Amino acid sequence: MTKSKIDKPKAQLPKGFKDSLQESVDIRNQIIAIIKNECEKFGFKNLETPALEYTEALGKFLPDIERPSGGVFSFQDEDGQWLSMRYDLTAPLARYVAENYQFIPKPFKRYQVGSVWRNEKPGPGRYREFIQFDADAIGISNNYIDAELCVMVAKIFVNLGFAVNEFKIKYSSRVIWEELFKKINLIDSLVPAVLRAVDKLDRLGIDGVKDLLLEGRKDQSGDFMKGVNLKNEQANEILNFISNKSTKDVQLNIFEEYLENYKDLPFEFDPTVVRGLEYYTGLVFEVELTAKILNEKGKEVVFGSVAGGGRYDKLIARFGKEDVPATGISIGVDRLTYAIEQFDKINSSQKPLIVIANLLAEKTSTYISIAEQIRSEGYACEIYYGSSNLSKQLKYCDKRKASIVVIIGEDELKNNTISIKNLNMGKELSKNIDSREEWKEVKAGQLTIQPNDLISELNKILK
């Protein structure tokens, strides 16, 4: 084997990462615009924080404690300080609030959209880099704000095209769990592991959760998931609590009092909502899509959770401040984009593409002039610079999903005309044409016009 072959890198994505094509990016941008618009209606303002934070500022709150650095990507800088890529948008917000506490208005309501990174085990639909959209309210202890966040998110999903029977917002409280843990004499060090086990109920079912509360279980890959090793009576108390939907506290009562004003929106109390992150201190909530899709095995499944959040009144106090009341909700934008595509709620709205066929090399200036004229009308337009073969150019247009091709060849020059081919109409007309001669005669979807009529004809076709 030669040295040059050894040195060649492999063209391969890292595990847990993905490329996004134009259509998905366009739909994602529309989703973000809808979410931003609704957040601003409720008085939230945009804030951006950097992708990197000092590791100690981020803290270790991720549930995946078996991964290196507590599930985050970290490295040391030239000064020997550890930096980590943010694993969510809440921990950087807490740092920002603590650092700027005396300058920011209180209450402080902000939204942010951006990528986050988690050093977790990748799997189908589980990525190490993904985009989140967060909205948080700092400095409000009244639980009306928690309910208002949930109402805002419900309205976001309605604006995204979901009917109220296609999603639900489930809520609970960490406080009622704390009371249960006191009752069963659960030691504090086991609380995070118990909550992580309960958080897997949708995926593993009640028997799977019980296994995790006891000795443990094997997952689908054959790996053994270590259990919490509770006593059987403790595990049964927890499972009974999960099944009982009558336990409430003061926070939940205030929260539900606010929701009484929005009986048309799909809210549901569910004590199994605990959220995986360890910094939650009170009310917790998540948004679940109830519509079904086909998974990679062709089996019909409920899509599941696409957003979640809760109250985290002690997170900012880590930086030496007094406890600052805070609550927020996070939307998984990439996962939501995938759902929107599956349920066909939003279509790509990218501009139609017009391609100018390049048939005569000496007429490049003419092509450029026409392209600029088309672009000045707000249309996307490009000149083909490859082979002068029209058939190849039309194949290129098809791959690019172009709407129109503009043709100026020798015949058009001689007659001072322009030919435009409506590719979408051409596809429809071609379905009913059987012979090559008939195709030539009809010239499916093709129109010959005067140069001065180009823009008006394009407008007729595209608008």
CA 206 to chain CA mean position, Å:
29
- CA distances, 352 to each of 244, 355, 369, 396 (Å): 55, 10, 19, 15
Residue 234 shares a structural domain with residue 295 = yes
For residue 138, what are the contacts with CB-CB under 8 A and spacing of at least 6?
Answer: 93, 97, 104, 106, 107, 108, 109, 110, 316, 324, 325, 326
CATH code, domain carrying 455: 3.40.50.800
Show the domain range for 392. Answer: 353-462
Residue 48 shares a structural domain with residue 143 = yes
Total structural domains in the chain?
A: 2
Residue 326 shares a structural domain with residue 364 = no
The encoded tokens of residue 244 equal 């009982």
Residue 2 placed within a domain: no
Residue 137 shares a structural domain with residue 271 = yes
Q: What is the pLDDT of residue 439?
A: 44
Residue 274 shares a structural domain with residue 402 = no
Torsion sign (Cα): 27, 33, 34, 39: positive
364-369 long-range contacts, CB within 8 A, separation 24+: 366/408, 367/408
Rounded average pLDDT per 10-residue block, the chain, 463 residues: 69 90 92 97 97 88 58 88 92 94 94 93 81 96 97 97 94 90 89 84 84 82 81 88 82 96 95 81 93 72 87 91 90 92 84 92 93 95 90 90 93 93 69 48 75 94 86
Residue 123 shares a structural domain with residue 269 = yes
Q: What is the pTM of this model?
A: 0.82
Q: What is the pLDDT of residue 70?
A: 65
CA–CA separation, 330 and 311 (whole Å): 12
Residue 360 shares a structural domain with residue 234 = no
Residue 339 shares a structural domain with residue 400 = no
C-alpha angle 249/254/258, rounded to 5°? 145
Among residues 23, 329, 350, 331, which one has the least CA distance to residue 160?
331
CA–CA separation, 434 and 436 (whole Å): 7
C-alpha angle 151/154/159, rounded to 5°? 125
Residue 338 shares a structural domain with residue 368 = no
CA–CA separation, 420 and 458 (whole Å): 9
CATH code, domain carrying 142: 3.30.930.10
Q: What is the pLDDT of residue 430?
A: 46
**The domain boundary residue, chosen from 289, 312, 343:** 343
The encoded tokens of residue 399 equal 């791959």
**The domain boundary residue, chosen from 319, 343, 367:** 343
Torsion sign (Cα): 63, 67, 70, 73: negative
Report helix angle 144-159 to 250-259, nearest 10. Answer: 40
